[in-house]
Amino acid sequence: MIRFNLFSAAVMAAFIAACPLPALSQAAPADATLRMYVGETQTIRMPSEVMRIAIGNGKVMSASTLNAREVLLVANDAGESRLTIWLKDKTQRTQTVYVTLSNMARISSEVHQLFFNDPNVSVRTVGERIFLEASDLSALQAKKVSALEKAYPQQFVAIIGGEGNLQERTIYMNAEIVEIRKSALENLGIQWQQAINGPAADVAASAEIRGGRARTVNPFLWTIGLASAITSRINLLEQRGDAYVIATPQLTSRCGGTADFTAGGELPIPIASGPGQIAVEFKPYGIRLQIEPRCDTQGNIRAKLGIELSQIDRSVTVLGVPGLLTRKAITELDLVDGRSMLVSGLTSLRVNDEIDQVPGVGDVPLLGNLFRNKNLGGERTELVLLITPAVVTNESPQITRSLERGRNLQTEAIDRLRSRIKEQAPQGTPGALPADGGIR
């Protein structure tokens, strides 16, 4: 009996050894990653029949089977999710799916095509951002970068910098705002004299005198009438004005920054804010100059410039509030370090028409032109901006002159204040300011 049991066990062991064992589950390769963008669909084909599908984040993506071996993936929202698929052959595939808001592959391809022949530009895709790096940019490259920043504000990042860090450079801008006034006054016509001589009377007679006695006396001749000396003249007059400087601002800004200059005031405008309530809104007027410079290593400066000149116009009044005359221009310029650029074309024209005439007679058709004088006056002004940029450091002459001017103004103000305090202080009282100008 024991021998039979041993024999049976040996036969059973041999049978088990001869039969193949079922395969164990195997994990998918660790390098399986998939990138998609919102709204994209992809189909994955498996080597064996799909048994189960698991998704880590259902908000980011969804999956379904098309047939026994194909899985359809749909990207729903930006984010990251794990995808696990079990197959009939007892294996499993695991993938990490990254979903972005935009098609980063397409955007990256467009950027590479734009800068394909530019060796100074490198383009890299990191996550949901495309980074463009360059030491400096030409005018054409700067236009391309500006267009990409507008088209893809969330995905495109430009890093411009090179030797000396262009973004940290300082631009000094010497500006002169000049108004050229071209005034013309035409005084053309027949202007009659405003004062005339009054009436006159004459008496005349002739006589022959011999030996102190009149021998022959002719009758008296007399006249009375309106003897006037009326004169006229033809006037032809033209006056032309001159140019004068409105402001000379000196501005500084780093590359990529903004410099702003404003000189003027604010016009209060009442606005109804509710039943029986009035709010006041202030509208600025005057001169405003705004400059946004960008620079490169070759000394070229590209600036976006805006200039505005406004003044109160009392000829247009609504509910007691005058209007504003405004001249405004926005432009982009390519400047060179140390060279001046002139911007003009902001013109304004005012016309005045006055007529002086003899009352009554001047209104007669055709004949009235002889008793009428017409004054036609016109004033035409043009605003001109002259700007000279320069890349400066702490030792540049422009900065040195500005610092010296500031010190001189400070010294002058302290001297005036000290002399005024000395005049107002009682005799024998020490001055209130120490020698260095500080306050005790």
d(CA 396, CA 172): 10
- Could you tell me if 176 and 248 are in contact, meaning their C-beta atoms sit under 8 angstroms apart? yes
Classify residue 24 by burial, with Cβ atoms within 10 Å: 0-12, 13-18, 19+: exposed
DSSP H helices, 19-162, are 104-114, 139-151
Give me the amino acid identity at 312: I
Residue with tokens 């705002």: 177
Q: Which residues contact 354 (CB under 8 A, 6 or more apart)?
A: 374, 375, 376, 377
CA 32 to chain centre: 49
For residues 184 and 239, the answer to whether their CB atoms sit within 8 Å is yes
The whole-model pTM stands at 0.42
Other Cβ atoms closer than 10 A to 148: 21
What is d(CA 125, CA 37) in angstroms, rounded to the nearest whole number?
Answer: 14
CA pair distance 232, 372, nearest whole angstrom: 11
The token pair that represents 88 in the structure block: 């009939």
- Give me the phi and psi of 135, to 5 degrees please: -70, -40
pLDDT the model gives residue 349: 64
Distance between CA 412 and CA 437 in Å, rounded? 11
Q: Is 121 helix (H, G, I), strand (E, B) or coil?
A: strand
Instruction: Give the pLDDT of the chain (440 residues) as one tens digit per residue.
Output: 444 444 444 444 444 444 443 333 344 444 478 888 888 888 888 888 888 898 988 888 899 888 988 999 998 888 888 889 999 888 888 888 888 877 878 888 888 888 877 777 888 887 778 888 877 677 787 888 888 888 888 788 887 765 445 555 788 888 888 777 665 434 445 444 444 445 555 555 555 555 555 455 555 555 555 444 433 443 443 344 566 777 888 888 888 788 888 888 888 888 877 777 888 888 888 888 888 888 766 667 888 888 888 888 877 788 778 888 787 888 888 877 777 777 777 776 665 666 666 676 667 666 666 666 665 556 677 777 888 888 777 667 777 777 787 788 888 888 888 888 877 766 655 555 555 554 44
Which backbone phi and psi does 67 adopt, to 5 degrees?
Answer: -150, -160
For residues 18 and 24, is the Cβ–Cβ distance under 8 A?
no
